[in-house]
């Protein structure tokens, strides 16, 4: 069978994956703190028809003769570049400027990490995420009669009590990783540590390379529609070109079958 037939099939599969990733990026162009993904390809095994030869007997050397057998998916990377801040004016909206992730946990104590800073107070006046996960570092409930709730650039949460005295409710902490691109997406704007992300280094914002907190802002998605549409065109044309390879290979096989007549 023709090698080009299988090369075309592998190319179509890869560009289909590329279009799947692009579609997910575009779907999340408005998702707070979303990090886009990208796909890279690599060539597969090459069949060697003749090996390379060194110069000998008064003749120069010759190069190897190889035919590639298609492509395969190399990586699907999460691009952890920082999204632009969007002003909201809401006191419980925060954006991380620089490195780091909010550390949040569920009622079982499992820890997750997030760049989405749209926070809320639940019925117990605990600081939580949109899905009700507790924000680590904030100690206990914030009194319901508290006023002038502020979160400074170092993550310190403070408020005025009923006697107009400033009280500290704790400090939001950030986690950094040796390889942040190794984090695994868990859905709901959450990440989990993986075997290749490294252990989290949890600490206060503004210290040891961690970013700072900006109250009243949210980090936007880092998806650029112009880039995604360009890559969509490349993916679509690549898919079409590889399907044409399959069609042409099929026509050649048909000609070979017709030789019997």
pLDDT tens digit string along 82-108?
A: 999 999 999 999 999 999 999 999 888
Specify the higher pLDDT residue, 64 or 19. Answer: 19
Which structure tokens are listed for 189? 């704007």
pLDDT of residue 25: 97
pLDDT digit string, tens, across residues 133-159: 999 988 767 877 777 889 999 999 998
Q: Which distant-in-sequence residues (6+ apart) come within 8 Å of 178 by Cβ? A: 197, 198
Q: Interior CA angle at 190 toward 227 and 127, to 5°?
A: 125
The pTM of the full predicted model, rounded to 2 decimals, is 0.86
How far apart CA 171 and CA 156 sit, in angstroms, is 4
Q: Which of 98, 97, 212 is nearest to 155 (CA)?
A: 212
Given a contact cutoff of 8 angstroms between Cβ atoms, the answer to whether 231 and 79 are in contact is no
How far apart CA 174 and CA 41 sit, in angstroms, is 34
Given a contact cutoff of 8 angstroms between Cβ atoms, the answer to whether 170 and 139 are in contact is yes
User: CA of 139: how far to CAs of 120, 128, 163, in Å?
Assistant: 15, 12, 20
pLDDT of residue 250: 85
The pair phi, psi for residue 185, each rounded to 5°, is -75, 130
Assign 196 a pLDDT band (cuts: 50, 70, 90): very high
Given a contact cutoff of 8 angstroms between Cβ atoms, the answer to whether 38 and 21 are in contact is yes
How far apart CA 233 and CA 224 sit, in angstroms, is 15
Tell me what the mean pLDDT of segment 121-136 comes to.
90
How far apart CA 110 and CA 131 sit, in angstroms, is 14
Which structure tokens are listed for 243? 């399907």
**Cα four-point dihedral sign 197, 202, 203, 205:** positive
């Amino acid at each position: 069978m023709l090698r080009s037939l299988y090369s075309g099939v592998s190319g179509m599969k890869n560009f289909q994956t590329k279009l799947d990733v692009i579609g997910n990026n575009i779907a999340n162009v408005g998702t707070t703190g979303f990090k886009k993904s990208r796909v890279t390809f690599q060539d597969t095994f090459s069949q060697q028809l003749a090996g390379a030869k060194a110069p000998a007997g008064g003749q120069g050397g010759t190069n190897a003769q190889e035919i590639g057998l298609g492509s395969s998916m190399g990586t699907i990377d999460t691009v952890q570049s920082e999204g632009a801040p969007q002003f909201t004016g809401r006191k419980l909206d925060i954006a991380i400027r620089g490195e780091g992730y909010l550390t949040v946990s569920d009622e079982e104590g499992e820890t997750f990490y997030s760049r989405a800073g749209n926070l809320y107070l639940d019925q117990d006046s605990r600081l939580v995420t949109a899905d009700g996960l507790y924000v680590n570092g904030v100690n206990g409930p914030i009194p319901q009669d508290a006023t002038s709730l502020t979160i400074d650039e170092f993550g310190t949460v403070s408020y005025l009590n009923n006697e107009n005295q400033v009280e500290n409710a704790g400090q939001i902490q950030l986690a950094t990783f040796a390889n942040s691109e190794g984090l695994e997406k868990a859905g709901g704007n959450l990440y989990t540590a993986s075997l290749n992300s490294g252990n989290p280094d949890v600490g206060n914002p503004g210290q040891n390379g961690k970013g700072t907190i900006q109250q009243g802002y949210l980090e936007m998605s880092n998806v650029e529609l112009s880039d995604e549409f360009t890559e969509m065109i490349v993916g679509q044309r690549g898919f079409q070109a590889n399907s044409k390879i399959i069609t042409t290979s099929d026509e050649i096989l048909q000609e070979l079958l017709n030789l019997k007549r």
